[in-house]
Amino acid sequence: MRRREFIALGCSVGAYGLTAHAQQYEQIRRIGVLMTLADDDPEGQRRVSAFQQKLQELGWTVGHNVQMDERWAGADANNIRKYAEELVALTPHVIQASGSIAVGPLLQVTHTVPIVFTIVPDPVGAGFVSSLARPGGNATGFMSFEYGLSAKWLEVLKQIAPRVTRAAVLRDTGISGVAQLAAIQSVAPSLGVEVIPLSVRDAVEVERGVTNFAQSPDGGLIVTASAPAAAHRQLIISLAAQHKLPAVYWERYLTGGGGLVSYGPDYVDQYRRAAGYVDRILKGEKPADLPIEAPSKYELIINLTTAKALGLTVPAALLARADEVIE
């Protein structure tokens, strides 16, 4: 081969290599993930694994055509704000965010990066979207439940522990916590129950509040959905057991962890569904056009081992309605 032809061939191969490298680079999509649980939280890992698994089923594999940047805030408001800024600075193609306390700070930082949220109770009321049918901005996703569900928790508590005349409601102090408390209070008089709100901002507050509440008889707990309650769930479950307080929780994994009873949607499924929205956004759809979706099914889970430890006999009618009974 003559020298001139060899040089031309070499340039051609080099150009092809650069082009192939550029194409491979262009195929990589960057996804930010902002979790409000700690990175060693088994439930948080289960949710992210479900998200990644569904993405892979849709053709997106981490390390191949997707890079995933995770931030785990542990329900710390300062960490959430810091990580929201960090993720946006990485210029991802889309961010998956968990809960209102993560979505709010993200929307303060960006109005352009697409956000797919999970476990947000009232995205319209919180100002995250214009409407459920047409969000209109850079955020869309999945509602955790309607606030009216909160009233069901008190009804379930009275069914499983009829003697309860006082209910401590563990909730955060944000919009969601206030609305959940209001729904519970709306049905409390008809059930003959006094409602006492308790804050779950930190572990010291939780322990002090529950311990003081347990000093009087005929009490029970309602643990409403919030990131702080999720972060302190083992403490809350152990305090309920220690003080012999029947307690109702918002999700099944708390019952699996020793809680008495839970009633709520399957949140892990929301992460699978969120992966579907991320897929659609990566393929060119806009979050403004993707409607907010609500849970389609609610699950009643009863832990009979915990019921026996509390000296409770679960009514047959309640057992018949249960989606799962843990023994």
Q: What average pLDDT does the segment 90-110 reach?
A: 96
Per-residue pLDDT tens digits for 168-203: 999 988 777 888 999 999 999 999 999 999 988 889
Per-residue pLDDT tens digits for 132-158: 999 999 999 999 877 888 999 999 999
Cβ-proximal residues to 172 (8 Å cutoff; 6+ apart), any chain: 199, 200, 201, 224, 226, 227, 228, 229
Mean pLDDT taken over the chain: 90
Question: Please, which pLDDT band fits residue 48 given cuts at 50, 70 and 90?
Answer: very high
Q: What average pLDDT does the segment 161-169 reach?
A: 97
Per-residue pLDDT tens digits for 7-34: 444 444 444 444 444 444 457 999 999 9
Question: Would you say residue 117 has pLDDT above 60?
Answer: yes
pLDDT in the model for residue 27: 76
Q: What average pLDDT does the segment 267-281 reach?
A: 96
Q: What average pLDDT does the segment 250-262 reach?
A: 93
Domains of the chain, CATH where assigned: 8-144+267-289 (3.40.50.2300), 149-266+298-326 (3.40.50.2300)
- Answer with the residue of higher pLDDT: 63 or 18: 63
Question: Please, which pLDDT band fits residue 212 given cuts at 50, 70 and 90?
Answer: very high
Distance CA 84, CA 103 (A): 9
pLDDT in the model for residue 26: 52
Question: Would you say residue 131 has pLDDT above 90?
Answer: yes
pLDDT in the model for residue 85: 98
Question: Would you say residue 279 has pLDDT above 90?
Answer: yes
Question: Would you say residue 3 has pLDDT above 60?
Answer: no
pLDDT in the model for residue 157: 97
